[in-house]
Each structure stands twice: as C-alpha cells, then as structure tokens.
C-alpha cells in the first residue's frame, strides 16, 4: 500500500513539473510532418538540414560544420501515467536512396563538440545519465569555444528518460551522417524501448519516417 501511494505521489509530482514551461514544447508534435503515434504517445522528429537553422540554434560553431545531423525529437504523452524511454537505444537508420541502410548510434554532446572543433578525445566517455547531475557537467580544459559549444549542445539535447503524464517534452539527438543530408528521404528514426513506469508495461516500437520532414525542413 505504501509503495502504491509513493508511486502515485511521484506521478503527481511529475504532473506538476509538466506544467513548467521548461518541459513544454512550443510545437504540437502531431502537426509535424514526421511522426508516429499509438498507445497515447506521439513521437515526432524535426531534422535540421540547412546551415541557417543550425546557426540560429547553436551559434558560431554547429554540428552542421562536421556533417552531423541534429534531430529535435518531441514526445507527447497523453496518458495519465509517466513513461520511461531508453534514450540510449534511439537510432537513426539511413542510407543512400536506393541502397541498403545502416543504423547509427546517437553521439553525446561532448562527442559532437570534439568532432566540430577537431579535438577528438581518446578518453572513454561516460554513459549518458537519465537526469543532469547537480551543478551540471564537469568543466574541461579544451578551451572556451569547446566549453561553450558543449554547454549549448548539452542544454538542447534530450537529457531525461522520463516522459511526464499529459505533457510534451523534447530534445535533440545528434548523428554523424558525413554531410549526407540528401540521404534523409531514405531515413527513419527508431525509438524501440519505452514502458509505462507504474506497471512496466512495454509500448510498441516507434518508427518515424523522415522523408516528409526532410522536405519540410529544407524549405524553412
């Protein structure tokens, strides 16, 4: 009984957080061209394909400089229960039109900063955490530009694995596509590992086709 009460108290806490403007997306995920929806959850994707959009979002140095795709992913949870999503299993499936495709893992913000500024680190990278640690990420000695870019990428990325009930959350995922932005018509985003938190009931696989989003994004 106590565990049940604690679980519902946790849900109510998440609901109050969902009302915060920091957790609400400004766009309706259902209105974006690329989305998949079932079981009360909408997953949509907005890939950035033009240099102008990257500069507007990230500033002087951007993932576009290194041929990295930034995809803003929206999750609208219309359920009364929170959902946990394993962000480490999100994949981009992409290939040259008419050819076979390959699955790409998402890059960490510091990995993107390394590639953009040509300062690839040989040190092993820590596993992505579901929630930011108090005080933020540890500072590095890679220089002002690197620190600034890393902070910008990290603040924009999807850094939480909890989707509060009746709320929309969003964040960026980064994929190294080697400047092949023209391959997006032959790409989709996979979100395979989600479950309701209270009963651990799994949700079905989400697959977001990026073909229509690539056309829409290039026109913006």
Cβ atoms 75, 84 nearer than 8 A: no
How do beta strands 206-209 and 194-196 pair?
unpaired
Torsion of CA 55, 56, 57, 63, to 10 degrees: -10
- For the chain, how many structural domains are there in total? 1
pLDDT of residue 218: 53
pLDDT at 157: 97
pLDDT at 207: 97
Rounded to the nearest integer, the mean pLDDT of the chain is 83
pLDDT in tens, 59-71: 999 999 999 999 9
Structural domain range at position 77: 2-218
Q: Is the pLDDT of residue 154 over 80?
A: yes
User: Quick one: tokens of 40?
Assistant: 């009360």
Ranges 111-115, 130-134, 166-170: which has the least confidence: 130-134
Residue 143, token pair as written in the block: 């220089």
Is the pLDDT confidence value at 28 over 50?
yes
Report the pLDDT value the prediction gives residue 90, as an integer from 0 to 100. 98
Confidence (pTM): 0.78
Give the confidence band of 127 by pLDDT, cuts at 50, 70, 90: very low
pLDDT in tens, 45-95: 999 999 999 999 999 999 999 999 999 999 999 999 999 999 999 999 999
């Amino acid at each position: 009984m106590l565990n049940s009460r604690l679980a519902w108290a946790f849900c109510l806490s998440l609901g109050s957080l969902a009302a915060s403007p920091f957790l609400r997306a400004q766009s309706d995920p259902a209105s974006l061209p690329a989305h998949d929806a079932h079981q009360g959850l909408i997953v949509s994707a907005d890939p950035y394909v033009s240099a102008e959009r990257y500069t507007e979002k990230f500033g002087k140095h951007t993932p576009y400089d290194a041929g990295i795709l930034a995809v803003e992913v929206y999750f609208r949870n219309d359920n009364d229960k929170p959902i946990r999503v394993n962000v480490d299993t999100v994949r981009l499936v992409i290939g040259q039109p008419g050819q076979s495709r390959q699955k790409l893992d998402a890059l960490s913000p510091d990995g993107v900063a390394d590639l953009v500024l040509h300062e690839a680190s040989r040190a092993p990278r820590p596993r992505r955490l579901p929630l930011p640690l108090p005080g933020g990420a540890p500072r590095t000695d890679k220089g002002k530009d690197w620190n600034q870019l890393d902070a910008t990428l990290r603040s924009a990325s999807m850094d939480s694995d909890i989707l509060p009930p009746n709320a929309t959350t969003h964040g960026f995922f980064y994929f190294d596509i080697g400047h092949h932005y023209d391959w997006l018509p032959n790409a989709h985003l996979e979100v395979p590992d989600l479950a309701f938190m209270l009963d651990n009931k799994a949700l079905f696989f989400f697959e977001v086709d990026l073909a229509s989003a690539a056309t829409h994004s290039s026109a913006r």
